[in-house]
Amino acid sequence: MSHYETLINSINGYAITKHFKRDLGLAKATAVALDILDSNHTGFEELHKFEEKVEGCHIFRAKIDGIHIVYAVTPEHKLVFLRGFKNFKEYEKFLSNKKKLKEMLSNH
């Protein structure tokens, strides 16, 4: 059982950040979010890859169409879609900026 699978049954809602919508566009952001919620692996190169724990939030990554999707499960059991990156270096930079990551998570 994956790290995500241990949390999925307790998820009681989700949020899509404005950054995520801007990164992917509203239609794609919504479609990707619903696929991740349903654990629909179709089209994903990676899904539910656990990255780290920040401020009690479990940070995960998925990859679809060359885009790295960053999402988190909060201590309140909410799934928050944070960002989507085409460039892996930008993705790594985002994860290393704990201050920005904590700020985004605290707003949801």
**92: which 2 tokens?**
């790594």
Question: Which tens digit of pLDDT belongs to each residue from 54-65?
Answer: 989 999 999 999
Share of the chain above pLDDT 90, in %: 66
Q: What is the CATH number of the domain that holds 89?
A: 3.30.2310
pTM of the model: 0.90
pLDDT tens-place string over residues 6-43: 777 788 999 999 999 999 999 999 999 999 888 777 77
| Domain of 27, in residue numbers | 3-106
For residue 74, give the nearest of 98, 92, 96, 54 by alpha carbon: 54
Please report the pLDDT score of residue 108 as a whole number.
77
Give 15's contacts (C-beta < 8 A, 6+ positions apart): 78, 79, 80, 81, 108
Domains in the chain, number: 1
- Model pLDDT for residues 71-93, shown as the tens digit of each residue: 999 999 999 999 999 999 999 99
Instruction: Classify the phi-psi angles of 13: left when phi > 0, otherwise alpha if psi is within -120 to 50, otherwise beta.
Output: left
Q: In this structure, what token pair is assigned to residue 104?
A: 């985004």
Give the other-Cβ count within 10 Å of 77's Cβ: 13
Does residue 39 contact residue 31 with C-beta atoms inside 8 Å?
Answer: no
pLDDT at 3 (0 to 100): 72
